[in-house]
């Protein structure tokens, strides 16, 4: 990890996983092996032991933050003599392609559903706010899909603004990873959850200092807590290649798949193609847009080459 996290003036407390694991003894673990197997993403191995050691204490810490935030909201309402407004506690989860964001988001969703008085925990990904492929092609952005400019940033920000205002039955566009496109006229409904998790590559991007679109808000402005999943570039590249190989034998074989032509590649050709995509698209996006936002997170979870989280950095209050 960078010196930003390790020097004496860092705003983060670095906690080795060995120390963090000791915290697990003070919290309950309401998930089973079957739960973990169901929740894990393709190519992102995780087992009950790691959930026990890492995610259980993290869930307990987040519960503490959430409880204090909601108490502050209640105190503010009382001070202003204002009726209580149901405002969800919003969590952002960021990180590179192939780092395991989806697994982490689903694990935390299941753990937080078991918190006292928070039965309604919704999860959305920013994939639904990608511009449709026809629009990306029109703007010559298909080769930059996943970069900040490939998203409907206004749509996502307006959704988060509305949900923070307590609006009901809000619609989130649906994305299909098989067709690699937003599904026309298909939506997920989000109706006043107690907690909302927002997972995506660039969710910790700061506001753009530009007057061209009149928008100075950022997605991260609406987060009460944020997590960045971190790993070395070498590990991320290897995990991406491994995932590509598995998808070649599964999702890519679907006739509807955007990548169906890749299913017929040899092992050598598939690895070469995966490396080409990684170095042409995912690595530049990581370096230019994703990794620089790491220092904006509340918590940074660093993974070793074996996918296991080996260090946690917690921003000081």
**Angstrom distances, CA of residue 107 to CA of 74, 100, 104, 212, 302:** 28, 11, 5, 39, 17
CA of residue 9 relative to chain centroid, distance: 28
Over pLDDT 70: what percentage of the chain?
Answer: 93
Q: What are phi and psi of 87, to 5 degrees?
A: -120, 120
Name the more confident of 39 and 313: 313
212 pLDDT band, cuts 50/70/90, is low
In total, how many domains does the chain have?
1
**Angstrom distances, CA of residue 142 to CA of 53, 83, 135, 136, 184:** 40, 47, 9, 5, 18
Q: Give me the mean pLDDT over the 117-123 stretch.
A: 87
**Residue 283 belongs to domain with CATH number:** 3.40.50.300
Per-residue model confidence (pLDDT) at position 109: 93
Helix (H, G, I), strand (E, B) or coil at 173: strand
Q: pLDDT digits over 138-183, tens only? A: 999 999 999 999 999 999 999 999 999 989 999 999 999 989 999 9
Q: Burial code of 213-226, b = ≥16 C-beta within 10 A, e = fewer?
A: eeeeebbbebbbbb
**Structural contact between residues 241 and 278, judged by C-beta atoms closer than 8 angstroms:** yes
**For residue 153, which of 221, 229, 72, 73 has the smallest C-alpha distance?**
221
C-alpha–C-alpha distance, residues 54 and 292, integer Å: 24
C-alpha–C-alpha distance, residues 286 and 291, integer Å: 6
C-alpha–C-alpha distance, residues 130 and 149, integer Å: 9
Expressed as residue numbers, the domain containing 140 is 3-315
pTM > 0.85: yes or no: yes
Largest CA distance in the chain: 68
Name the more confident of 215 and 107: 107
Q: pLDDT digits over 227-268, tens only? A: 999 999 999 999 999 988 888 877 778 788 778 888 888 888
Least confident of 35-39, 95-99, 238-242, 311-315: 35-39
Q: pLDDT digits over 69-78, tens only? A: 989 988 988 9
Tokens encoding 72: 């502050």
Q: What are phi and psi of 125, to 5 degrees?
A: -115, 155
Element housing 14 (H / E): strand 12-16
């Amino acid at each position: 990890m960078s010196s930003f996290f390790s020097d004496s003036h860092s705003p983060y407390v670095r906690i080795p996983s060995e120390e963090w694991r000791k915290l697990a003894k003070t919290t309950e673990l309401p998930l089973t092996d079957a739960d973990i197997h169901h929740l894990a993403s393709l190519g992102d191995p995780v087992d009950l032991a790691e959930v026990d050691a890492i995610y259980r204490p993290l869930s307990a810490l987040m519960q503490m933050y959430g409880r204090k935030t909601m108490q502050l909201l209640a105190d503010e309402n009382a001070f202003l003599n204002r009726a209580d407004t149901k405002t969800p506690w919003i969590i952002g989860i960021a990180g590179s392609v192939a780092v395991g964001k989806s697994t982490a988001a689903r694990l935390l969703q299941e753990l937080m559903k078991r918190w006292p008085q928070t039965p309604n925990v919704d999860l959305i990904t920013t994939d639904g706010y990608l511009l449709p492929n026809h629009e990306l092609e029109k703007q010559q952005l298909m080769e930059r899909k996943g970069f900040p400019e490939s998203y409907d940033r206004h749509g996502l920000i307006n959704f988060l603004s509305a949900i923070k205002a307590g609006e009901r039955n809000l619609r989130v566009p649906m994305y299909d990873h098989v067709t690699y496109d937003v599904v026309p006229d298909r939506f997920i409904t989000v109706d006043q959850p107690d907690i909302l998790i927002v997972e995506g590559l660039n969710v910790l991007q700061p506001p753009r200092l530009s007057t061209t679109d009149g928008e100075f808000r950022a997605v991260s402005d609406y987060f009460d807590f944020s997590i960045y999943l971190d790993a070395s570039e070498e590990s991320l590249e290897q995990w991406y290649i491994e995932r590509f190989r598995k998808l070649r034998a599964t999702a890519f074989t679907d006739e509807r798949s955007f990548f169906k032509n890749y299913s017929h590649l040899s092992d050598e050709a598939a690895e070469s193609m995966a490396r080409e995509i990684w170095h042409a698209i995912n690595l530049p996006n990581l370096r230019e847009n994703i990794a620089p936002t790491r220092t904006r997170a509340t918590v940074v979870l660093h993974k070793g080459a074996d996918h296991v989280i080996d260090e946690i950095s917690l921003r000081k209050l």
